[in-house]
Amino acid sequence: MIRVRSVDQPTLRDPAASGRVFFVGLFVLAIWQMARLTEFDLLTLFAAFTDPAPRNFLLGFFPPAHSVAFLTLALVETWRTVAIATCGMFIAGLIGLPIAILLTRVLSLSAIGQPQFGGAVFSGFLRRVLRSLMVFLRSVPELIWALLLVRVVGLGPTAGVLAIAISYSGMLGKVYAEIFESVDPLPTLSLLNQGASRLQAFAFGLLPQCSDELISYSVYRWECAVRSSVILGFVGAGGLGQQMDLSMKMFAGDEVCTLLILFVLLVSFADWASQALRKAWE
Amino acid sequence: MNARWVALFSLLALIVASFLSLDLHWLVFFETDSVQSMGRFVLEFMHPDLQPQFVLKVWYASLETIAMSALSTLIAACLGLVIAFKASGVRPLLNLLRAVPELVWASLLLIAVGLGPFAGTLALALHTTGVLGRLYLEAIENQTDGPAFALRAAGASSAQVFFFAQLPQALPQLVSYTVYRWENNIRAAAVLGVVGAGGLGQMLSFHLGLFQMNKAATVIAATLILVALVDSLSDRIRRRLG
């Protein structure tokens, strides 16, 4: 038997209620689990303000450390941060550019029917190997590279330079190759067909079309490298970050404050410098 | 053309000065001692520790990493909404939050709340609040104010205007910003731990500190898998949306 509800007695039941309650419940459960996993406890945070050590650390922020000796040290470390980023980027370019040239299909001699060592199959295979090597280099975070390299070459700027060089060469290799493939291939192909070598075709067919883009991307990446070289210092790879880590471990709030100010100034300087360079180039 | 030469020259000068001023030790790679120890490193790396007990620990650390990123993004999104609704005056504070990197926040917070994932979660939340707060504010300020104006003209309160005109209009954009930041935060959370702020990173620096390369290799592999999963997932989501 079918029960018919009369029209003037509208039902007030929400048809989606059970689903809604279910999802809200699931959400609350997920948040509760996540809070448990991350040991989330706001009481610790409040307790920190009554604890003398963190409070004194924070109170120490003002006034920032401004003795001549410390300022000199901090400025030297700031320069070292820039130098680490610059050296790392330079080496990354030295590795990334040739690989990008090898990866570029437009420059392939076997693709235009010229017999090459191993033939098209071999060069295709080589390209695939190089490409996955690049993927590997850049998918390991640079901080992990630095952490590993500090164990190999010891504390100091060498580890920082190498970490930036390794992870940025993977990135540069990929992006340079993409830039090379995005421009008009005809000049390059006609040079190759005239009998030019791969390098000649690159230098006279490909490079003139995209040198602006290459420079501007590299300078932008340099700016990123400056920022990440500060971070790398925290695992012992030299520069501003290492000094900051040291000052934090000594609970020297005034020194940390000075270093943080220097960091912000450095980042805005790098931003300004990279924009100025790019503008000058165009 | 002149400006180009100046730019090129200053770039070259910067590179030369950098190499001259740093005390780089390239010879390390040619000393027999260090080459041998490097060889041992690599050899041990090739044999990651895959004992079920240890893999379970790595799995737990991965969950911790994901939880850190998700919870911090959620906190930042809530704070960002509050800022977008009422507190557009905190812009300088947002700039400060954003300017300090997650890792620096984490090591500052370690002093306050001690080692562990809580410090990492708070650090991510602080930095992300700076980023999302600004993006939310801009999304709401840059939208067409027709709907908001209509509601205000009809006598709606500012809360009503926000929840019935401004928020629904900006919602798709806010969601996409938030998901993008979450993706970033997973990557950040995986390495944040190297200063002691929980997750996979803390485990990695712990085992590397003890020179247990086979265990470190397992942790790095887990990090790579996590990052690759996030990348492919976000790629798929983006392709479906775009």
Would you say residue B23 has pLDDT above 90? no
Query: What part of B 173-232 touches A (C-beta under 8 Å)?
Result: 187, 190-191, 194-195, 198, 201, 204-205, 208, 211, 220, 223-224, 227-228
B111 touches chain A (CB under 8 A): yes
CA distance B140 to A151: 48
- A12 three-class SS: coil
pLDDT digits (tens, 9 = 90+) for A228-260: 999 999 998 889 999 999 999 898 999 999 999
Residue B212 lies in a domain: yes
Give the pLDDT mean for A26-40: 91
- Sort out which chain A residues have CB atoms less than 8 A from B38's CB and list them: 152
- Sort out which chain A residues have CB atoms less than 8 A from B9's CB and list them: none
Count of residues making up chain A: 282
The one-letter code for the residue type at B167 is L
- B188 three-class SS: helix
pLDDT digits (tens, 9 = 90+) for A176-220: 999 998 988 899 888 988 888 888 889 998 999 998 899 889 999
Reported in sequence order, the residue ranges of B10-65 that DSSP labels E, i.e. its strands, are none
pLDDT, residue A146, reads: 92
pLDDT, residue A4, reads: 59
Residues 6+ apart with CB under 8 A from A237: A84, A146, A149, A150, A155, A156, A157, A159, A160, A163, A229
Q: What pTM did the predictor assign?
A: 0.87
CA distance A233 to A81: 8
Give the pLDDT mean for B140-163: 90
pLDDT, residue A224, reads: 92
Residue B201 lies in a domain: yes
pLDDT digits (tens, 9 = 90+) for B208-238: 888 888 999 999 999 999 988 988 888 888 7
What is the extent of the structural domain holding B179?
Answer: 64-241
| Proportion of chain B above pLDDT 90, given as a percent | 55
pLDDT, residue A157, reads: 92
- A1 three-class SS: coil
- Name the minimum distance, in Å, from the CA of B144 to any CA of chain A: 31
B24 touches chain A (CB under 8 A): yes
pLDDT, residue A226, reads: 94
**B91: confidence class by pLDDT, cuts 50, 70, 90:** confident
Query: What part of B 41-60 touches A (C-beta under 8 Å)?
Result: 41
pLDDT, residue A111, reads: 65
Would you say residue A6 has pLDDT above 70? no
pLDDT, residue B101, reads: 92
Residue A107 lies in a domain: yes
Which residue of chain B comes nearest to A245, CA vs CA? B107
- Name the minimum distance, in Å, from the CA of A270 to any CA of chain B: 12
What count of other Cβ atoms lies within 10 Å of the Cβ of residue B79?
22
Question: What's the structural domain count of chain B?
Answer: 1
CA distance A43 to B118: 11
CA distance A136 to B225: 12
Residue A149 lies in a domain: yes
Residue A172 lies in a domain: yes
Query: What's the angle, vertex CA A165, arms to CA B45 and CA A136, rounded to 5?
Result: 45
Would you say residue A7 has pLDDT above 70? no
The CATH number linked to A185 is 1.10.3720.10
Residue B27 lies in a domain: no
Residue entry with tokens 């390059």: A188
Residue B19 lies in a domain: no
Residue A146 lies in a domain: yes
pLDDT, residue A5, reads: 57
Residue A102 lies in a domain: yes
Residue A58 lies in a domain: no
Give the pLDDT mean for A36-57: 83
CA distance A207 to A213: 10
**B144: confidence class by pLDDT, cuts 50, 70, 90:** confident
Number of helical (H) and strand (E) elements in chain B, helices listed first: 11, 0
B25 touches chain A (CB under 8 A): yes
B121 touches chain A (CB under 8 A): yes
The one-letter code for the residue type at A192 is L
Would you say residue B202 has pLDDT above 80? yes
How does the average pLDDT of chain B come out, rounded? 89
pLDDT digits (tens, 9 = 90+) for B36-68: 878 888 888 888 888 999 999 999 999 999 999
Nearest CA among A174, A171, A167 for reference residue A149: A167
A209 is written with which tokens?
A: 């079309």
Give the pLDDT mean for B116-123: 93
pLDDT, residue B114, reads: 85
- Name the minimum distance, in Å, from the CA of A45 to any CA of chain B: 6
Chain B interface mutation, best of A29, A33, A37, highest count of B Cβ atoms under 10 Å: A37
pLDDT digits (tens, 9 = 90+) for B186-201: 999 999 988 888 889 9
CB–CB contact B7 A280 (8 Å) = yes
A154 touches chain B (CB under 8 A): yes
CB–CB contact A141 B107 (8 Å) = no
Give the pLDDT mean for A255-281: 91
Would you say residue A155 has pLDDT above 80? yes
Judged by phi (left if over 0) then psi (alpha if -120 to 50, else beta), residue B51 lies in: beta
pLDDT, residue A115, reads: 62
Question: What's the structural domain count of chain A?
Answer: 1
Q: What is the DSSP letter of A65?
A: P
Which of B71, B120, B227 lies at the smallest CB-CB distance from A34? Answer: B71
Residue B213 lies in a domain: yes
CA distance A199 to A214: 17
Residue B9 lies in a domain: no
On whether the CB atoms of residues B122 and B113 are closer than 8 A, the answer is yes
Would you say residue B88 has pLDDT above 80? no
Q: Is the dihedral of CA A229, A230, A233, A238 positive or negative?
A: positive
Would you say residue A1 has pLDDT above 60? no
CB–CB contact B24 A280 (8 Å) = no
On whether the CB atoms of residues A111 and A185 are closer than 8 A, the answer is no
Residue A30 lies in a domain: no
Would you say residue A113 has pLDDT above 80? no
* CA end-to-end distance (rounded Å), chain A: 83
**A116: confidence class by pLDDT, cuts 50, 70, 90:** low
CA distance B89 to B70: 27
CA distance A266 to A85: 12
pLDDT, residue A197, reads: 85
Give the pLDDT mean for A126-153: 88
Residue entry with tokens 């291939």: A185
**Between A and B, how many residue pairs show a Cβ–Cβ distance under 8 A?**
156
Residue A166 lies in a domain: yes
Hey, which of A45-54, A111-120, A200-209 has the most confident mean pLDDT? A200-209
- Sort out which chain B residues have CB atoms less than 8 A from A231's CB and list them: 101, 103-104
Q: What is the DSSP letter of A140?
A: S
A116 is written with which tokens?
A: 């090459």
The helix-helix angle for B102-113 and B167-192 (nearest 10°) equals: 70
CA distance A141 to B227: 9
What is the extent of the structural domain holding A168?
Answer: 69-281
The CATH number linked to B164 is 1.10.3720.10
